């Protein structure tokens, strides 16, 4: 007759101390704050959908393990719009009535391991009425090749390129040499909206030591104004890209680009600054590992002695 093996006693549930709960609540709040209205993460750096559990599942898991509501109130609440203010990680933006914008103005990564960094300093993602409109390129894979380079390059992001040079010197599959570093970053309320201002020094290595400063203003009523100032010296070629989500179609009509959605209805106007030469180019979107989708990119270009300014205004269509 065999003896039954004794079963281990169930470990008693140990309530986490207040400090641990506070840290987890901060992490949960951070994740919720930076996510787009669709509940998914922004695709800065080597981010892609489907690598980890969805944010909602992670929050639910944390609540099941630790019990209770782990949400902690954001310190930047406003009656006009909710500010997303994460200076430690370099993320700044807002959300308001389905509109959401997140800007990357932090270090490209730890100095000792920048392998997952992209040339996305002062780039942003934007959603209007709950739907992503302006997107990051994402990442296709970790293999050396054209797709890896495209996803990491300055061309793959919604930021400024000077003289066709990368803002951070990327090479190989995970290598970075001289890199863009944030000089300043400030987000403040400007009721009924808000304004962000940030600067990086990634192009100082070029003749004339140009510096890129970006100002993004949200008016609280569905219009976002982006102003890029290039200071320094010398003559330079400047290009600013606006990458639209797959299915959105831009048509340049003189001083603006009309953007229609997958159903053909107008979604937004991109009003262009005087002196900028607009054009369209094809782009790629890598929302998941091994997934490549086509998208359209609006490009603004200018050439001349700096200081130079490029600016545009994104306005929601009345029917959106």
Collect contacts of 249-253 with beta carbons under 8 A, ≥24 apart.
249/296, 250/280, 250/296, 250/298, 252/278, 252/279, 252/280, 252/298
Tell me the mean pLDDT in the region 96-104.
Answer: 95
- Report the alpha-carbon distance of residue 142 to residue 289 in Å, rounded: 9
Tell me the mean pLDDT in the region 125-141.
Answer: 96
Domains in the chain: ranges and CATH: 82-316 (2.70.98.70)
Give pLDDT tens digits for 239-254: 999 999 999 999 999 8
| pLDDT above 80 for 148 | yes
Tell me the mean pLDDT in the region 261-289.
Answer: 92
- pLDDT of 2 reads 42
Question: Which whole-number Å values give the CA distances from 164 to 16, 56, 139, 200, in the listed order?
Answer: 52, 40, 21, 17
Tell me the mean pLDDT in the region 167-184.
Answer: 84
| pLDDT above 70 for 284 | yes
Tell me the mean pLDDT in the region 36-43.
Answer: 95
Asked if 63 and 25 touch (Cβ cutoff 8 Å), the reply is: no
Count Cβ atoms within 10 A of the Cβ of residue 169 and give its class: 0-12 exposed, 13-18 middle, 19 or more buried.
Answer: middle
Beta partners for residue 265, in sequence order: none
Q: If phi over 0 gives left and psi between -120 and 50 gives alpha, with beta otherwise, what is residue 140?
A: alpha
Q: What is the pTM of this model?
A: 0.89
| pLDDT above 80 for 147 | yes
- pLDDT of 25 reads 86
Q: pLDDT band for position 71 (50/70/90)?
A: low
- pLDDT of 180 reads 85
Asked if 83 and 94 touch (Cβ cutoff 8 Å), the reply is: yes
- pLDDT of 223 reads 96
Beta sheet of 160-162, edge-to-edge order: 160-162, 235-243, 293-305, 277-285
């Amino acid at each position: 007759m065999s003896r039954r093996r004794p079963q281990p006693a169930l470990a008693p549930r140990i309530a986490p101390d207040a400090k641990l709960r506070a840290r987890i609540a901060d992490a949960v709040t951070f994740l919720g704050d930076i996510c787009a209205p669709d509940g998914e993460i922004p695709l800065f750096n080597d981010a892609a959908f489907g690598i980890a559990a969805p944010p909602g599942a992670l929050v639910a898991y944390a609540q099941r393990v630790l019990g209770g509501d782990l949400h902690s109130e954001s310190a930047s609440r406003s009656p006009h719009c909710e500010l997303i203010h994460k200076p430690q990680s370099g993320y700044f933006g807002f959300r308001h009535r389905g509109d959401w914008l997140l800007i990357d103005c932090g270090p490209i990564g730890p100095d000792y391991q920048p392998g997952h960094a992209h040339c996305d300093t002062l780039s942003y993602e934007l959603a209007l009425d709950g739907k992503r409109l302006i997107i990051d390129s994402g990442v296709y894979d970790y293999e050396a090749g054209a797709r890896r380079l495209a996803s990491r390059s300055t061309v793959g992001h919604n930021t400024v390129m000077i003289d066709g040079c990368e803002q951070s010197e990327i090479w190989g599959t995970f290598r970075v040499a001289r890199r863009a570093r944030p000089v300043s970053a400030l987000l403040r309320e400007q009721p009924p909206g808000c304004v962000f201002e940030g600067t990086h020094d990634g192009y100082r290595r070029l003749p004339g030591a140009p510096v890129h400063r970006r100002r993004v203003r949200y008016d609280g009523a569905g219009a976002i104004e982006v102003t890029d100032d290039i200071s320094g010296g010398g003559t330079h070629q400047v290009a600013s890209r606006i990458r639209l989500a797959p299915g959105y179609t831009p048509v340049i009509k003189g001083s603006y680009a009309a953007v229609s959605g997958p159903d053909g209805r107008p979604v937004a106007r991109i009003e262009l600054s005087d002196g900028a030469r607009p054009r369209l180019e094809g782009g790629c979107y890598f929302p998941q590992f091994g997934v490549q989708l086509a998208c359209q990119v609006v490009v603004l270009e200018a050439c001349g002695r700096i200081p130079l300014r490029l600016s545009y205004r994104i306005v929601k269509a009345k029917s959106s």
